[in-house]
Amino acid sequence: MKRLVFLVLPFLFSAQTHRFIYEYQFKTDSTSADYEKTNMVLDINPVDVKFYDYDYAKNDSINKLRDYKNYIWNDTPAIVRKKNSNENLNFELLNDYFAYKSIDKIDWKLSPETKKVGQYNLQKATSNFGGRNWTAWFNPEIPLNEGPYKFRGLPGLIFEISDSQQQFIFKLIKSYQLASTYKTMDFLETQMDKKPLLVTKATLDKIKLDFYNDPYHEIRENFVYKPDETIKLMNVRITSKDQINDATKSYQKYIRKNNNVIERDKALKYPEN
């Protein structure tokens, strides 16, 4: 049985957020038989559009009820853009909090093919984006040209979209309106009370590559074996610098194996050291 989608209409009034929740299935390891899964938020606000993990919003609500803040972050996409714009601000948390801009115009090919999901009539569209072939199903009766991640520009809201290899799948599962624009200042525009450093994608790739080349740099430089202390890397107790080298190779292998990203043509190429 197909999952039903419940939408709240009419659309945006002044200062409101119209929130769409998408189930997101993905494979960071392209050879894996299993999917990772989470729910993602698409907030369409009066002046901008935001896309991020639903867990961030839930955690933010909890933070507002207590005296201390508990920050969470994962490798799911986090994006902000102005309405009716293809310029995205992409956020990433590494050794620091970063943001970089990208222009992501998607050229769609509309198909006459249609299908029905619940009470909604959807139309098919296809595109090549990020080195992958995508199939989207959108609702032309809902006058919002938005969708999950960077997928936008169709004459209607995207309900479903997946790549041809079925490695990344977004499905709309719920929608509702918020009475006022939802504030994300504590987990998108800032992280741990710190604004992101605006960099280029090339700079961010270099930071990732430097980390990959020597992920345990500080431990290696400062390592002195003390029998009464325990240092573990990759679940192995470290008693020599040679073990740090072994742990480095194991971690590098893990990074290479889990380097399957949505925009495959922009994936960082990690060397096999």
What is the pLDDT, as a whole number, of residue 221? 83
What is the pLDDT, as a whole number, of residue 224? 73
Map out the domains of the chain as residue ranges: 17-189, 200-266
pTM equals: 0.92
For the chain of 273 residues, list the mean pLDDT of each consecutive stretch of 10. Answer: 50 76 98 97 96 97 90 95 97 96 98 94 98 97 95 97 98 93 95 96 97 90 74 82 88 96 96 85
What is the pLDDT, as a whole number, of residue 227? 67
CATH class of 17-189: mainly beta
Give the CA dihedral 22, 84, 202, 131, nearest 10 degrees. Answer: 60
Distances (CA, A) of 72 to 30, 35, 56, 192: 25, 21, 7, 9
